[in-house]
Amino acid sequence: MSDYTIGLTGLTAAATALEIVGNNVSNASTDGYHRQRVELTPSSYGKAGSVAVGAGVDVAGVTRLLDKLLEDEILSQQSSYGQISQELSVMTTVETTFGEFAEDSGLNATIDEFFSALEGLAAHPMESVYRSDVVSAAKVMCSEFQRLGTSVAELQSQIVLEARNIGDSINSLVSQIAELNGRIQNIEVTGAQANNLRDQRDQLISQLAEFVTVETQGREHGIVDVSIGGLPVVSGTLSLDLFVGLMDDGTLDVSPAASQGRSLDVEGGELGGLLRLNNELLDNVGNELDKLAKAIIDNVNRYQVQGLGEDGSFTELTGWGVGDGTLSSLSSEVTDGSFYIRLTDTMTGEIERYEIEVNASGAPPDTAESIAAKINAISGLSASVISSQLHIVSEQNHLFDFMPAVLPEPTNTSFTAASPATVSVSGVYEGDESGMLILTTVGTGTVGNGILRLNVTDADGNLVSTLNIGEGYAAGDSLDLGNGIRIQVGTGQFNHGDSCEIEVLTSSDTSGFLAAVGMNTFFSGASASEMQVCGDISESPDRVATCYGADLTDNTAALRLAGVQDEEVNGLAGMTVNEYYQRLVTGVGQEVALLESRQANVEAMLQNLGNQRDGTSGVNVNDEAARLMVFQQMYQAMAEYMSTLQTTMDTLMNMI
């Protein structure tokens, strides 16, 4: 009977082999399928009398042909490719959004046009058409900032939505993997093999690797555990869901669904790319764009608030919202310092200047209400905070402004002569530090006669200049004290040692308070998407500051506004506006170029790894056809063998 056993084992082996070949051919185009091979071993030997003979063939199993190290490397590279592709897609969109492909396009061009318009105004400070040009250019620049800021914010919103969708897909995949683990275990615990189910499960793991970097660990009976960010999301037949969402600080976060807030260190794949895009790349682009917008807003406003346009001084000003009124809540930084209000009595022509000290760091610090109370203490002005806005209004026949121009008369005088000469002051101080200029008479006599001069010193006693007001000087002639300040000495006498003081200001607001609360500002907003021209300026371009001088004919304010473009700004790492923007755009371009290079490298690596896997695990139809013929012939031969045995047996039985 052993002869029949041999025949039956041969038929079984051939039939099994044909099934495996058929399975291979039918899955030749199936993603994730690994070629299978039947493992045949000789059966234990038998005896024919005293002679040992073979007992046929056994099917030892069916092997999936795969290289575990190769498969792990492919998973790793798939994750890298998924992340790089996601980042490249979005950053290319950002690069296109900025649109700096030509010199006359994009935000850089609108910035140049705005400051060019200010230069034009500085050259023609008395012409309204140039003020209108400045406002129009400012609106175009604001629109471009808003477009870019909004685009970056919308991209981040889309990223958050996409990340949540990917989180749902990950949860679905880990659930399916756990289910397949159970089915594989139920089959293989009996000693059978579930190779096709393993392929299905491994294909799901491959899909998971496209979303996020995964770590796998094989266990008994074909089970594979899967971890993400160090968290086991598949343990045998159990799965754990993930939660993807925004944290309070705006960062995109991944955590176990059962314990939200416990952040996972997730990398790789499309989800890893979205996390880096939201939390780093786009966040950096958005922050740098906001810094640029705020630098322009703050520095333009810093000069605008101090100056006046063709409309002249104010009877009323209302700022923007100041939140809870504390200085720390304002959009622009306020520091310890002071600001000056210049008050003009239009009936008498008298001009006075008042200093308002700002305590930003003391205990307790000033608030908008406390500053309003200090302004209220000035006769001719009233101030209040209404609906979180600082409101200043002058009494009848009074005008106010914040100009740093010197007052027309000395701040203090110490004249002892019986008929002292008058001293008139004009100009805008161009020195480095605010302070007092002290004019001291050397000699005694009448202006325009004898040896009589004025020594001009600063507050530290350093001699600035010496002016002749004796013989050769005509009373009323203008004398240059330097740094933009001029005086006129009228008829009269001076005694030796007579003196007067002239207060000079480099800035009428060293605290930044006026710009922070929106007093006579040009721009409003604290970010790119919020940046806009203030309503008062937009409705009345003649409010654009051109002058700091009392006669409203100079162009000092316009020059300083135009000079913002070339200032090295501390908030921009010591760079100018254009330099900072160029760095931003260049950084985006470099990131895109780097991602393109990395993507090409990973693509080539995946192609190479894929070719290696095809050589090991892929199905070659021609090879399978050759195996089909071999096993077909084996089956036919075994059938012939069985037929021969039957004929022999029949002959033997007939002989008996």
**Residues whose CB falls within 8 Å of the CB of residue 196, separated by 6 or more in sequence, listed in order:** 23, 27
Residue 344: CB atoms within 10 Å: 20
Backbone angles phi, psi at 389, to 5 degrees: -120, 135
| Amino acid 52: pLDDT | 63
Residue type, 448: G
- Closest C-alpha to 413, from 494, 484, 353: 494
- Closest C-alpha to 392, from 427, 341, 433: 341
* Cα 84 off chain centre by: 18
What is the rounded distance in angstroms from the CA atom of residue 449 to the CA atom of residue 276? 80
- Closest C-alpha to 553, from 126, 119, 122: 126
Sheet holding 351-358, edge to edge: 351-358, 337-345, 398-401
What is the rounded distance in angstroms from the CA atom of residue 327 to the CA atom of residue 359? 9
What is the rounded distance in angstroms from the CA atom of residue 110 to the CA atom of residue 226? 52
Q: How far is CA 403 from CA 124, 314, 514, 655, in A?
A: 20, 11, 12, 136
* Helix (H) or strand (E) segment spanning residue 222: none
What pTM was estimated for this model as a whole?
0.86
- Which H, E and C letters describe 258-319, residue by residue? HHCCCCCCCCCHHHHHHHHHHHHHHHHHHHHHHHHHHHHHHHHHHHHCCCECCCCCECEEEE
What is the rounded distance in angstroms from the CA atom of residue 305 to the CA atom of residue 294? 16
**Residues whose CB falls within 8 Å of the CB of residue 57, separated by 6 or more in sequence, listed in order:** 9, 10, 13, 40, 41, 42, 43
* Helix (H) or strand (E) segment spanning residue 619: none
What is the rounded distance in angstroms from the CA atom of residue 276 to the CA atom of residue 68? 30
Torsion of the alpha carbons at 203, 204, 206 and 207, rounded to the nearest 10? 120
Contact 443, 496 (CB under 8 A): yes
Coil, strand or helix at 517: helix
| Amino acid 16: pLDDT | 85
Q: What is the DSSP letter of 126?
A: T
Residue 229: CB atoms within 10 Å: 21
Coil, strand or helix at 364: coil
Give every residue of the chain whose pLDDT is below 50, as ranges: none
Q: What is the DSSP letter of 243?
A: E
- Closest C-alpha to 223, from 163, 276, 182: 182
What is the rounded distance in angstroms from the CA atom of residue 358 to the CA atom of residue 339? 8
- Residues paired with residue 391 on neighbouring β-strands, in sequence order: 318, 384
What is the rounded distance in angstroms from the CA atom of residue 380 to the CA atom of residue 23? 98
Torsion of the alpha carbons at 558, 560, 566 and 569, rounded to the nearest 10? -130
Cis peptide leading into 364, omega within 30 of 0? Answer: yes
What is the rounded distance in angstroms from the CA atom of residue 612 to the CA atom of residue 627? 22
Contact 517, 322 (CB under 8 A): yes
Residue 490: CB atoms within 10 Å: 12
What is the rounded distance in angstroms from the CA atom of residue 156 to the CA atom of residue 544? 36
CA atoms within 13 A on the CB side of 501: 11
Q: Write the Ramachandran bin of 106: left for phi over 0, alpha for psi from -120 to 50, otherwise beta.
A: left
What is the rounded distance in angstroms from the CA atom of residue 637 to the CA atom of residue 458? 119
* Helix (H) or strand (E) segment spanning residue 524: strand 523-524
What is the rounded distance in angstroms from the CA atom of residue 33 to the CA atom of residue 16? 19
Q: How far is CA 72 from CA 77, 169, 375, 615, 619, in A?
A: 9, 21, 73, 16, 20
Token pair of 647, please? Answer: 């004929």
* Cα 86 off chain centre by: 17
